[in-house]
Structure 1
Amino acid sequence: MRSWRNELKRAWTIGIQGPNLALGWGLAVLLFTGLRLLGQVPGWSVAGIALILLTLIVGAWQLTQLTLTLIGRRPAAWQSWQLVWRNKGTWLFVELGLIILTLPFGLWGLSSRLLVRLPVPAMWVNAVGLHRRPVGIVVAIIYVVVAGYCLLWGPRHFRRLTPQISHPGTWRQMVGALLVTAGLTLAWLIWAELFVGLNWWWGPHLGAGSARFLAWGSLGLILLGLLLVTSLSIITLVWSWCGQPSVTSSRSPRRQLGALVGVIVFAAACISTQAIYQTPQFSPMALISHRGVDHGHGVQNTLGALRYVSRQHPTYVEMDLHEARDHQWVVLHDENLATLAGRNVTPHSLTLAQLQRLTVHENGYHDHLVSWSTYLRTAERLHQPLLVEIKTTPADSQGMAARFAREYGPRLAADHSAVHSLDYRVVTQVKRTTPQLRVGYITPFNWVAPSSIPADFYSFQRISVSQQFILAAHQLGAKAYLWTPDSRSTMTRMWALGADGQITNELSRLRGVSQQRPAANWWAVLQNFVFSYL
């Protein structure tokens, strides 16, 4: 075991300091920095496409150099270029595979910058959103199969990339490399969280300028740690891919090593400056009560909860509608009443009158289901704007959304209320029928360009949202609301992303967060940055 550790450390040293490797690492850092900086602006550009292609080429060249160096070949730079060009088709396939495999893990901070540019037909987006569970399971199975194949057969299957390898790595060696990579990532995460904690503890006691500067310096150190961990992880994986050969010492010229250090410091300074000084954050927010409740007072989507929460004057009370068997609307979220009413029935199996006789229980309270017309009339009497979510099921009547828009669209628009839905067909039908009404799309997860699904606003699922999706919405002239942050720390992080509003079950807590001094919360910017790399 000690011998293995010594060999790994030697591989790390040679992998960074070997001939021309320092130059390659420096080029790679500059290109990734460019992608990170340019990727802050949504949309495609000639410069962005050229930068992506150049990054792929340099990445293939550096990995080829690294492989040959670790097996003792010490190649000249032109020999590595020649080998890459000879296998350009295979390299393209391999690199696209690496991008797909690393997307769920942040793609070194580029994941959201890529996905927010992905154009997909609205019909496909809607199909995935409405069938997200089976689609998610299928995607997960495919991912595991592909990752397992790469782990078991990758070193042998793609041996043509570097035919000089005499003993490709085994799956045990690859698993060991992945464990080392996981350990390095954990060490970096602990390092990063120490700086997040420092800013959380010390930031509130500093002036605005000092707190911002502390965040800038902390972010630079976090990035330096990330670049070190990333390079060591790549060397570990390539070393295992090559069968963990013994390596002999060799070094790049001192000027290349000095240039590498300078490039890394420059990259950290640029990215930190953009993240802290040049991106919008801590914007004024809309305060939106999810299902009309606050801190468990009352039963969701009932008149009692509405009357209670309206005293806090939220920007909107978000609530849900289902169509009943008689084509009337009941205020209800769940597609089955087993949880709230102890009845294994669906809204479509009962008439509105039957549904209104049911008693629902939650949070120690009880109340009755209420019709949409009664709920709307009560909200209007309280001068409370609503954010209406129209739920859909296969049992809905034909033209349900358009009929709802004809009956209630002008009234909701006059009330300064809005409508949103997980079903993009509802979004388009309601907007077409009532153009003056604000209509939004709810994203179950964020994986395509918002321009693929045009809407007046977006209700982004907060777990997979990023600043790039919010900026992309703003570029379309649309607001970005996030659902459903409930803890103070999550609310603060979403605020730091520049969200236009948050849909929460803890309205009074969100109000308290929005009234904080932004300078006291730079830790949230750092935390969002760390999460973007995971």
Structure 2
Amino acid sequence: MFRSARTILMTLVTALAVTVPAVPATAVPATAGPPPGIVNVAHRGASAHAPENTIEALLLAARQGADMVEFDVRETRDHALILMHDTTLARTTDVESVHPGRAPWRVADFTLDEIRELDAGSWFGSAFRGTRVPTLREALRAMSRTRLGLLVEIKTPRLHPGIERRAAVELRRSWDGPLVVQSFDWDAMRAFHRLMPDVPVGLLGTPSPGELRGLAAFAGQINPPYRDLTRDYVRAVQALGMQVFTWTTDDPGVMRRLGSYRVDGILTNWPHVLARL
């Protein structure tokens, strides 16, 4: 079902969207941008314009010129996989008013049915009132209608033993497009690689140059915060056959600098800005 890591990622690099959505001329300075071939990754969807980790944000990313969307996966009390960044539901839903007596409102303390009751859009804006927290399966089905690839982050696997296996089952069942799975937990990514060896895994963070060779045995990407990057570090990662997807910037000047380092992908909340560049 899945192509090799190199085929998947090189396909994304060589098939970047050529239709760039219109944005105001003042949104991006008129200067040289990054070189062609940088994968435009919408961070939690087009999260500057729609509530993060919702179907609305994911689909908007496609309209804003993204090549991939990144989203976060957590597990509920009854082992359902949902899109949610934080350990708790408080920041991006109305859980405090719906369930006032259940602080600190951890995702892992609620069932999927309880989470389906919550409004995950009003915090962002009244236009998104009634938006729901999607399951992983719902997100995969929605994204299958686009041509975008997915960068799926598994959050805090140590809090959810077995989440790697459950995510692998759902991805096999519901997704047949370009895919990378990433986490800050490198041991979990080693385990996921054993489950789905044809799917590239990304390691979030900035391993030392001395660690890179060992990590290249199973990792397809090293994905550091952009402030940690230097041109030499990017070259060291790429020399071992891995890619660098860096996060997260909305600044055109920073995007241009990262482009000069020849990074492979940039995560941004403003995919239309990177598309314009």
Q: 3-state DSSP class of the match of 2:222?
A: strand
Q: How many angstroms does 1:499 deviate by? A: 0.7
**Alignment-mate amino acid for residue 478 of structure 1:** M
Q: How many angstroms does 1:493 deviate by? A: 1.0
Q: Can you list the C-alpha shifts for 1:262-314, whole angstroms capped at 9, x where unaligned?
A: xxxxxxxxxxxxxxxxxxx84520000000015x2110000111222222342
Aligned match of 2:235: 471
CA contact (8 A) 1:458 1:481 kept: yes
Kindly indicate whether structure 1 or structure 2 has the higher relative contact order, using CA contacts under 8 Å at least 6 residues apart.
2
**Alignment-mate amino acid for residue 93 of structure 2:** A
Return the match for 1:424 from 167, 186, 211: 186
CA contact (8 A) 1:462 1:484 kept: yes
Q: How many angstroms does 1:363 deviate by? A: 3.4
Q: Can you list the C-alpha shifts for 1:310-337, whole angstroms capped at 9, x where unaligned?
A: 2234211100000111111011111112
Q: How many angstroms does 1:432 deviate by? A: 0.6
CA contact (8 A) 1:446 1:461 kept: no
Rg bigger for which structure?
Answer: 1
Tell me the distance in 2 between the aligned counterparts of 1:393 and 1:416: 23
Matched, 1:327 2:91: no
Q: 3-state DSSP class of the match of 1:338?
A: coil
Tell me the distance in 2 between the aligned counterparts of 1:388 and 1:463: 22
Tell me the distance in 2 between the aligned counterparts of 1:409 and 1:451: 29
Quote the RMSD (CA, aligned, Å): 2.2
Aligned match of 2:45: 292
**Alignment-mate amino acid for residue 179 of structure 2:** S
Alignment of 1:122-161 (within 5 A): none
Question: In the superposition, relative to structure 1, how do residues 461 and 311 fare at CA in structure 2: closer, same or farther (>3 Å)?
Answer: same
Aligned match of 1:504: 268
**Alignment-mate amino acid for residue 356 of structure 1:** R
Aligned match of 2:114: 354
Aligned match of 2:202: 440
Question: In the superposition, relative to structure 1, how do residues 403 and 337 fare at CA in structure 2: closer, same or farther (>3 Å)?
Answer: closer
Q: How many angstroms does 1:390 deviate by? A: 0.6
Tell me the distance in 2 between the aligned counterparts of 1:407 and 1:508: 30
Tell me the distance in 2 between the aligned counterparts of 1:395 and 1:484: 25
Q: Can you list the C-alpha shifts for 1:453-472, whole angstroms capped at 9, x where unaligned?
A: 23111212111111122111
Matched, 1:377 2:141: yes
Question: In the superposition, relative to structure 1, how do residues 487 and 358 fare at CA in structure 2: closer, same or farther (>3 Å)?
Answer: same
CA contact (8 A) 2:224 2:244 kept: yes
Tell me the distance in 2 between the aligned counterparts of 1:311 and 1:402: 32
**TM-score (norm: length of structure 1):** 0.41
CA contact (8 A) 2:41 2:267 kept: yes
Aligned match of 2:58: 306
Q: 3-state DSSP class of the match of 2:152?
A: strand
Matched, 1:456 2:209: no
Question: In the superposition, relative to structure 1, how do residues 374 and 453 fare at CA in structure 2: closer, same or farther (>3 Å)?
Answer: same
CA contact (8 A) 1:293 1:305 kept: yes
**Alignment-mate amino acid for residue 408 of structure 1:** L
**Alignment-mate amino acid for residue 470 of structure 1:** V
Alignment of 1:16-165 (within 5 A): none
Q: Can you list the C-alpha shifts for 1:462-484, whole angstroms capped at 9, x where unaligned?
A: 11111122111211111111100
Aligned match of 1:386: 150
Aligned match of 1:265: none
Tell me the distance in 1 between the aligned counterparts of 2:55 and 2:248: 21
Q: How many angstroms does 1:448 deviate by? A: 4.2
Tell me the distance in 2 between the aligned counterparts of 1:353 and 1:431: 31
Tell me the distance in 1 between the aligned counterparts of 2:242 and 2:271: 23
| Residues matched between the structures, number | 232
Aligned match of 2:168: 405
Q: How many angstroms does 1:401 deviate by? A: 0.7
Q: How many angstroms does 1:411 deviate by? A: 5.0
Question: In the superposition, relative to structure 1, how do residues 309 and 283 fare at CA in structure 2: closer, same or farther (>3 Å)?
Answer: closer
**Alignment-mate amino acid for residue 416 of structure 1:** P
**TM-score (norm: length of structure 2):** 0.77
Higher strand proportion: 2
Q: 3-state DSSP class of the match of 1:381?
A: coil
**Alignment-mate amino acid for residue 475 of structure 1:** A
CA contact (8 A) 2:41 2:268 kept: yes
**Alignment-mate amino acid for residue 306 of structure 1:** L
CA contact (8 A) 1:406 1:433 kept: no
Q: Can you list the C-alpha shifts for 1:480-515, whole angstroms capped at 9, x where unaligned?
A: 1110011111111111111111000111111122xx
Aligned match of 1:492: 256
Aligned match of 2:124: 363
